Structure 1
Amino acid sequence: MSDTNRRAFLRATGLAGGLAFAGVAAGQDETTTASEETTTDEGDDAGLVTVESDGDFEATVERIRSDIEDSADMTLVTTVDHAENAESAGTDLPPTTLFLFGNPQIGTQLMQQSQTTGMDLPQKMLVWEDGDAVNVTYNDPTWVAGRHGIDAPGMVAEQVASVLRSLATGAE
């Protein structure tokens, strides 16, 4: 899917604004939700979804940045280049970039249900290189909801998960 079509898809479905709504259903056991996507609920990576990108690191970072910035519903709060920060401290880190983004209207609704949700908002998406692989990791919406006791319809959680997956992978 071209970048233009992907952005049009996110806008047309009206789901792009739901990205900050990550965390809208009950908890989830460890599962594999797609061949290249893994969600966990135990250990150090509790509640994280990781997908492998088809693109190289820079292309993946730019695609995600563009999709967020081109969305009428999302706000890019900041981008953190962890590798650049490591270099400024005289250490090395493989390419690692964090995006903080969201939709204040949706996020506020979540925090009205549970103010502690503010610990997980705005939404975060990490692009990181591990050897030859480029990965994208984000918080599983169902895990976040369970963490904060948020009760929301499963359909909304599925839509948010779909949008996050689309943003992470660049696919519909």
Structure 2
Amino acid sequence: MKRILTAMTTALSLIGAPLMAETITQNSPKSVSATMDALQAAVEGAGATVFARVNHGAGAASVEMELTDAELLIFGNPRLGTPAMQADIHAGLQLPLRVLVYAGDNGTVVAYESVETLFDGLDVPLDAEFAQRMTGALAMLTGKAIAE
């Protein structure tokens, strides 16, 4: 009986468990700062707005702590973000888009969450044109950032 209860408890906990977030990563042959410079240039060249470039490593150093070289770019385009928020205002908790560039164990890594992960649990149609364009934009922009 104890085994059955344990199995049922485990099964029920898995049913309610959230899906694992899909983080898309790519390796860059460049340094963190050079990759981030290329990403920022690609974003601006595509007509999107850069809202912030956060240097996490410098932030850590400012309080005398160590952190691997890491920068975050926060950017967006209201032509894509607005329809997502019109579908579900809570999409605003996930937008603008963010890409992290950091020094990994084997070189520079570019990372971002998939659009499916960003809008998981929201009433945002993932098959909508704006969602597909976000997916394409993230892939294209990060591709430009890592290109030699």
Q: Which has the higher contact order (CA 8 A, sep 6+)?
A: 1
Q: Indicate the larger mover: 96-105 or 54-63.
A: 54-63
| Residue of structure 1 equivalent to 2:33 | 58
Separation (CA, whole Å) in 2 of partners of 1:67 and 1:105 = 17
The number of aligned residues is 127
The 1:159–1:69 alpha-carbon spacing in structure 2 relative to 1, beyond 3 Å, is: closer
Q: State the SS of the aligned residue for 1:63.
A: helix
TM-score normalised by structure 2 residue count: 0.76
> Which blocks of at least 5 consecutive residues in structure 1 are unaligned?
1-40
Match of 2:74 in 1: 100
Aligned residue in 2 for 1:138: 112
**2: CA distance, partners of 1:156 / 1:69:** 19
Q: Give CA-to-partner distance per residue, 1:62-104, whole Å, 9 cap, x none.
A: 10011112222x0000110000000001101111000000012
Match of residue 120, structure 1, among 67, 72, 94? 94
Residues 1:148 and 2:122 are matched in the alignment: yes
Larger radius of gyration: 2
Aligned-residue offset at 1:158:
4.3
Q: Partners in 2 of 1:158 and 1:118 — Cα distance?
A: 17
TM-score of the aligned structures, taking structure 1 as reference length: 0.66
For 2:31, the aligned partner's letter is D
Aligned mates of 1:140, 1:158 — CA distance in 2: 11
Q: 1:157 to 1:114 in 2, by over 3 A?
A: closer
Cα distance, 1:156–1:122 mapped onto 2, change above 3 Å: closer
Measured in 2, the distance between the counterparts of 1:104 and 1:158 equals 15
Q: Does the residue aligned with 1:80 lie in a helix, a strand or coil?
A: strand
